[in-house]
Amino acid sequence: MGSITKKIFVVVSFFLFWGFENSVYLAETKNNTIINLFCIQNFKEEMLKANINYDEEIAKDTCDCYLEEFINTNSHSKAISKCKLKTQKKFNL
């Protein structure tokens, strides 16, 4: 029985480690998706139109919010509206 327990432990440990590594990879790729790149570019253009200095931290925060909301609601317009308000409040714009 000890041998079977060791094998199960090794298999479970492998899958847990693989899942952790995969989640780190997915978190890194989230920052470089086409959607995120378009969001950053659009944010920069909107800031320039409003005569507000572009801030990379605000853009990143806003686009992270947008991606999260879009995934949760599947609505482009709802995600934009919610994240615009959240960014305005958070960064006092």
Percent of the chain with pLDDT over 90: 17
pLDDT tens, residue by residue, 9-38? 655 555 545 554 444 455 555 556 788 888
Cα(10)–Cα(17) distance, rounded to whole angstroms? Answer: 10
Q: Does the pTM of the predicted model rise above 0.85? A: no
Q: Long-range contacts: 4-10, Cβ < 8 Å, 24+? A: none
Contact 76, 70 (CB under 8 A): yes
Cα(65)–Cα(85) distance, rounded to whole angstroms? Answer: 11
